[in-house]
């Protein structure tokens, strides 16, 4: 899965330090993300669009990609609330503890 983002590199004029920055691009949520209760979602790129995103020289070449990901190509399921703790770090955190949000 590839998420759309932008990056930049610039020099701090006071210290000369090179700063690397990155931001993920978000859009409105699709039905799956709305069911989770989020009001925005990262722009998820289809594999066929990844190169187009990376090679674009102008924003108008990629604005059509800034749409919610297709509902029928994703799903979600509940996982342990332990995921919120930075002290927790085991694979069981990612195991489903309930049914998928959208029935198959």
pLDDT digits (tens, 9 = 90+) for 42-94: 999 999 999 999 999 999 999 999 999 998 899 999 999 999 999 999 999 99
Q: How many domains does the chain have?
A: 2
Mapped onto helix, strand or coil, the DSSP state of residue 35 is: helix
Structure confidence at residue 103 as a pLDDT band (50, 70, 90): confident
One domain for residues 81 and 43: no
One domain for residues 18 and 64: yes
One domain for residues 41 and 81: no
Average pLDDT, integer, range 15-33 = 96
How many residues in total does the chain contain?
104
Cα 38 to the chain's mean position, in Å? 12
The C-alpha atoms of residue 36 and residue 76 are separated, in whole angstroms, by 8
For 90, the domain range is 76-104
Element spanning 9, H or E: strand 5-11
Question: Has residue 104 got a pLDDT over 80?
Answer: no
One domain for residues 44 and 67: yes
One domain for residues 69 and 101: no
One domain for residues 14 and 30: yes
One domain for residues 49 and 94: no
One domain for residues 96 and 57: no
Q: What are phi and psi of 65, to 5 degrees?
A: -90, -10
């Amino acid at each position: 899965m590839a998420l759309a983002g932008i990056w930049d590199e610039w020099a701090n004029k006071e210290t000369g330090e090179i700063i690397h920055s990155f931001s993920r691009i978000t859009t409105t949520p699709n039905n799956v993300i709305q069911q989770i209760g989020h009001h925005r979602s990262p722009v998820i790129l289809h594999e066929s669009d990844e190169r187009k995103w990376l090679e674009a020289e102008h924003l108008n070449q990629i604005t059509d990609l800034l749409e919610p990901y297709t509902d029928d190509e994703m799903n979600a399921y509940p996982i342990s609330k332990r995921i919120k703790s930075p002290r927790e770090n085991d694979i069981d955190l990612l195991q489903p503890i309930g049914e998928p949000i959208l029935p198959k």
